[in-house]
Amino acid sequence: MQGKELKDFVVAQLEEIKAQEIKVIEISQKSTIADFMVICSGTSTRHVKSIAVMLIKEIKAKNLPIIGVEGEDVAEWVLVDIGDVIVHIMLPKTRDYYQLEKLWE
């Protein structure tokens, strides 16, 4: 699973897990690190961490490789790198502060 198909899978999983304000940004023309960046929010650090844990579980269930996971310990901002798709799961205040959408759009 790659590119658009992987992005669609990730978004479906995030919707199922009740992630909030899911935003997809195509970055394939701006960077070689990935094709898509998916940004979403959780309501608390516990919610952010549980979104990340459940997403990782579903990715592993599909036998997809996870390149890296960062930020699980603090859970204000968890990054899950799945190759063609990079997922940012953030608290709303962290998301407002870093404004990744503005940076990448």
Q: What are the tokens at 40?
A: 């979403």
Per-residue pLDDT band for 30 (boundaries 50, 70, 90) equals confident
3-state DSSP of the chain = CCHHHHHHHHHHHHHHCCCEEEEEEECCCCCCCCCEEEEEECCCHHHHHHHHHHHHHHHHHCCCCCCEEECCCCCCEEEEECCCEEEEEECHHHHHHHCHHHHHC
Is the pTM above the cut of 0.85?
A: yes
Per-residue pLDDT band for 94 (boundaries 50, 70, 90) equals very high
103 pLDDT higher than 90: no
Per-residue pLDDT band for 31 (boundaries 50, 70, 90) equals confident
Residue boundaries of the structural domains of the chain: 3-104
The residue type at 39: I
80 pLDDT higher than 80: yes
- Note the CATH number of domain 3-104: 3.30.460.10
102 pLDDT higher than 90: no
105 pLDDT higher than 80: no
Instruction: Please enumerate in sequence order all residues whose Cβ is within 8 A of that of 35, keeping only pairs 6 or more positions apart, or say none.
Output: 2, 3, 4, 7, 26, 27, 28, 84, 85
